[in-house]
Amino acid sequence: MKVGIIGSGMVGSSAGFALALGGGASEIVLIDQNPARAMAEAEDISHAVPFGRPVSVRAGDYADLAEAGVVILAAGVSQKPGETRLQLLERNAEVFRTVIGAVTRAAPDAILLVATNPVDVMTHVATRLSGLPPARVIGSGTILDTARFRSLLGRHLGIASQSVHAYVLGEHGDSEVLGWSAARAGSVPIASFAAQVGAAITVAVRAEIDQGVRRAAYRIIEGKGATWHGIGAGLTRIVRAIAADEGAVLSISTRTLDIGGVPSVTLSLPRVITRSGITAELRPELDAVETKALAASASLLAETEATLAL
């Protein structure tokens, strides 16, 4: 499957690198408003290919997206230290106004996979500007927050993060909701598993993991200016699910109807993803606190969407 990547900065190039090594693509086309950057990243990534599996990696223009199965959107500005994701909206909506039409004209059958922040609202923007069905316009959403949650829970419990089944819901941002009440390790509810291995999830542990997930981007941006490896791998996971028609359940963002009293808003829930895009969505069982927090996250995102003239 051909995969296009618009925006060959840290996120786009990390996704290209992870895709080249991690499978899912037979051809990767990197595009950037700075063609020299796209060419340099494509050349650098292509030098990793002999250590992995065969895949063509090159820089290109929009015409080179013809017959792409997925186009990743990673163009735009990222947060400065202390800046929230939502503060990027106006600048990145302007970028999408120039990019989305060019992508859909060149690759009308591609699934759009949005990474640019604020990713939920940018997925809404991409859906409106492209006119594509929401099932084919997917935001990476909370796939990264879910990975952070699983990683910290796995570390606390002394097990592989792959054996933790837990999701972060709602906004990929400050109002996100950690789904503690539905979390499982193996097939066991997380509190029971924690008690059985002598690693109780106390109020303090829970608060530390919550902040570990919710504040991760701020900490990393403070230390190295931006985040890119986690999202590069997360985008690759989504592309693989599409390319292999997996039916994987991933926490990803798309248009969501009737959530927390909000009729329509773009946010993350666990969703089934196949070659056709999103084919089903799951409403996890939440306790009263989580239900209220998800409603607040949905309202905040809907209010933000409403500020846009599209």
Ligand X SMILES: NC(=O)C1=CN([C@@H]2O[C@H](COP(=O)(O)OP(=O)(O)OC[C@H]3O[C@@H](n4cnc5c(N)ncnc54)[C@H](O)[C@@H]3O)[C@@H](O)[C@H]2O)C=CC1
Partner touching 11 among ligand CC(=O)C(=O)O, ligand X, none, CB below 5 to 8 Å by kind? ligand X
Query: Does 76 show up as a binding residue in the annotation?
Result: yes
Nearer to ligand CC(=O)C(=O)O, 78 or 104 (CB): 78
- Positive or negative torsion for Cα 124, 225, 270, 74: positive
φ and ψ at 197, to 5 degrees? Answer: -100, 10
Q: Which two tokens stand for residue 53?
A: 């599996």
Q: Which residues on adjacent β-strands are paired with residue 268? A: 170, 253
> Which of 107, 43, 53 lies closest to 240, judged by CA?
53
Q: Containing H/E element for 147? A: helix 143-157
User: Which stretch in 27-35, 150-158, 186-194, 268-276 sits in contact with ligand X by CB under 6 A?
Assistant: 27-35
Decide: 197 and 185 in contact? Cβ < 8 Å. no
Q: Which two tokens stand for residue 16?
A: 């290209």
Tell me if 117 contacts ligand CC(=O)C(=O)O by CB under 6 A.
Answer: yes
- Positive or negative torsion for Cα 219, 292, 150, 119: negative
Binders of ligand CC(=O)C(=O)O in range 141-170 (CB under 6 A)? 144
Other residues' Cβ atoms within 10 Å of the Cβ of residue 247: 12
Tell me if 231 contacts ligand X by CB under 6 A.
Answer: yes
Partner touching 16 among ligand CC(=O)C(=O)O, ligand X, none, CB below 5 to 8 Å by kind? none
Q: What is the rounded CA–CA span in Å between residue 137 and residue 157?
A: 36
Tell me if 42 contacts ligand X by CB under 6 A.
Answer: no
Which listed residue (124, 172, 214, 237) binds ligand X by CB under 6 A?
172
Decide: 101 and 71 in contact? Cβ < 8 Å. no
Which listed residue (217, 233, 243, 302) binds ligand CC(=O)C(=O)O by CB under 6 A?
217
Nearer to ligand CC(=O)C(=O)O, 27 or 83 (CB): 83
User: Which stretch in 2-10, 191-199, 265-273, 296-304 sits in contact with ligand X by CB under 6 A?
Assistant: 2-10
Indicate which residues carry an active-site annotation: 172
Q: What is the rounded CA–CA span in Å between residue 266 and residue 253?
A: 6
Annotated binding-site residues for beta-D-fructose 1,6-bisphosphate read 150, 165
Q: Which residues bind ligand CC(=O)C(=O)O (CB under 6 A)?
A: 79, 85, 117, 144, 217, 227
